[in-house]
Every structure is written in C-alpha cells, then in structure tokens.
Amino acid sequence: MKRKISSARPPALQPRFRIVCGKEIAFGPGKADLLEFIAATGSIGGAASQMGMSYMRAWSLIQAMNKCFRQPVIKTARGGHERGGAELTETGRDALELYRRMEAAGLKGAQAGWRALQKLLRK
C-alpha cells in the first residue's frame, strides 16, 4: 500500500533532542514545552490542559525530570482557598533555556545537509 504524501505544507526540518539518563528521558521537546506552559500558566493543571494531556501525565513527566536533575525543575504550592500553583525553579529555567539553545544550534548546524536533502524531496 502506497502512502500518500500531503503537499499542503512544504517539508520542514525539526531536529529533536532527548537527554537520556539511564532508561529515563530526562528532557526532550515535550518536557520543554510542559515547562514553558507551567511558566506561562503558573499551574501544572493549566499547562496540562493547554497541551491536551491529563494532570497525572504532566505530573509523571515532572517527576521523571526531578528524578534525573540534581535539583527539582519546578516548585509547587498546595491548594486551599488561595489555590495552589507551580513555577519553574532556577534549575528548570536553566534547563529550558539551555535546551532551547541546543535546538537552535542543532537547526543551524544542520542547514547545509538540509539544503542538500531538500533537493531529493518532492516539492
């Protein structure tokens, strides 16, 4: 069976890095996005909702990151009448910034190969 290639969007290069500690993915594109949404919403639940995932899935990703990093990546405040919240720690902010820089550097470094590969792709 032949797969149809949709030409609605041109081919794009999206280098994706994953930092692996043992069998655990310590950090990757989804975890970086999760931290960005937590920073923007101040909430694990809000971030999970915006990403279309359950709170429990988001919490398990945070636990995996916290297990791999020397310091926690977020700090939380319990609920109550003022409601809880979450924010990135210095480690979380640093990890996110370094990861995004690596993505940008990877994209820049792959441009010569990408230009050559594009010539082999259907338009």
Whether the CB-CB separation of 87 and 96 falls below 8 Å is answered with no
61: containing domain: 24-77
pTM score, whole prediction: 0.84
pLDDT in tens, 72-98: 999 988 765 556 799 999 999 999 999
CA nearest neighbour of 38 among 68, 77, 10: 77
Nearest CA among 17, 18, 16 for reference residue 64: 18
**Is residue 65 in some structural domain?**
yes
Domain count, the chain: 1
43 within some domain: yes
pLDDT in tens, 45-72: 999 999 999 999 999 999 999 999 999 9
Cβ(84)–Cβ(42) below 8 Å: no
3 within some domain: no
Quote the DSSP letter at residue 95: H
In a domain, 104, yes or no: no
pLDDT tens readout for residues 10-58: 888 888 999 999 999 999 999 999 999 999 999 999 999 999 999 999 9
Between residues 122 and 86, the one the model is more confident about:
86
Q: Does residue 47 fall inside a structural domain?
A: yes
- Rounded to whole angstroms, what are the CA distances from 116 to 6, 10, 28, 56? 21, 15, 27, 43
Strands (E), 1-123: 19-21, 24-27, 74-77, 85-88
pLDDT at position 83 is 67
